[in-house]
Amino acid sequence: MHDLSRPDGPKIVAVANQKGGVGKTTTTINLAAALVEHGLRVLVVDLDPQGNASTGLGIERSDRSQTSYELLVDDAAPEDVIHSTGFEGLSIIPATVDLSSADIELVSNEKRSFLLHDALRQTAMDAFGWDYILVDCPPSLNLLTVNAMVAAHSILVPLQSEFFALEGLSQLMLTVREVRQTANPKLRIEGIVLTMFDRRNNLSQQVEADARDNLGDLVFETKIPRNVRVSEAPSFALPVLSYDSNSQGAQAYRDLANELISKNNRTST
């Protein structure tokens, strides 16, 4: 078997789309769980004040005194904000609603767009040996999402298979271009993944055809099907890969992880 670990430091992927409810958090949690199945070490950073990724990975609200807010705003040490999950190799920096005021609190901070970048690259992070860091973004193109894009090597965009799905993409791409011009010239689009895909639904088929016509290779071959097991898993604080390992949703996220890993092996050499 190939050694998939990353001696050059973690690959940082921002999971972003300013639309809510398109599958960002679901993709973050389950892609992380699928990467961990390969023996990789993965850190999830919850940058959404709603804290859904934190809840979905079993971090109780009462355990969230040190969070991504403290990491960004108070310079908290990594070891204080990183929480282990019930899964070997998978940790999370959780979020609470405190994070919603960060935008305003940081307005006069000159380094406000670089806070996550700097936090993830401090030497204290090296000891953890992450292979991947997945950043779950809020449903907005605000300062938090910009922080994720400035910190990241690439962005992964979940696209819900529904009408108007492609509409928001141009706005997102404008923000990517701006971040490239000002702060992170190397930011890549890792790929666009179709979520909540229903192959019996014409609309899903149409969105897929449009996405592949317009975006070509940027669209992952893997599609995440609409699958009730995927939506049930968070209420048990489990990735669907643990909740129902043989479900279609679990298998799709494994396929997505495989595609991501093989893409990265091709581009890193």
25 binds Mg ion (CB under 5 A): yes
- 124 vs 228, beta carbon nearer ligand ADP: 228
Site membership for ligand ADP, residue 21 (CB under 6 A): yes
Degrees (nearest 5) of the Cα angle 191, 195, 198? 135
Stretch that binds Mg ion, among 20-28, 112-120, 229-237, 241-249 (CB under 5 A): 20-28
Query: CA-to-CA distance for 256 and 193, rounded, in angstroms?
Result: 8
> Which of 12, 13, 18, 25 is in the footprint of ligand ADP by CB under 6 A?
25
Q: Which is nearer to ligand ADP, 69 or 253 (CB)?
A: 253
Looking at the Cβ atoms of 5 and 205, the one nearer to ligand ADP is 205
Measured CA to CA, the distance from residue 35 to residue 13 in angstroms comes to: 13
Q: Is 24 in the site for Mg ion (CB under 5 A)?
A: yes
52 counts as binding ligand ADP under rule CB under 6 A: yes
Quick one: CA torsion of 253, 117, 92, 192, rounded to 10 degrees?
Answer: -10
* Beta carbons of 83 and 93 less than 8 angstroms apart: yes
Give the span between the Cα atoms of 229 and 269, in whole angstroms. Answer: 37
Q: State how far the Cα of 213 lies from the Cα of 210, in Å rounded to an integer.
A: 5
For binding to ligand ADP (CB under 6 A), which residues are involved? 20-26, 52, 139, 195-196, 224, 226-227, 230-231, 234, 249
For binding to Mg ion (CB under 5 A), which residues are involved? 24-25, 52
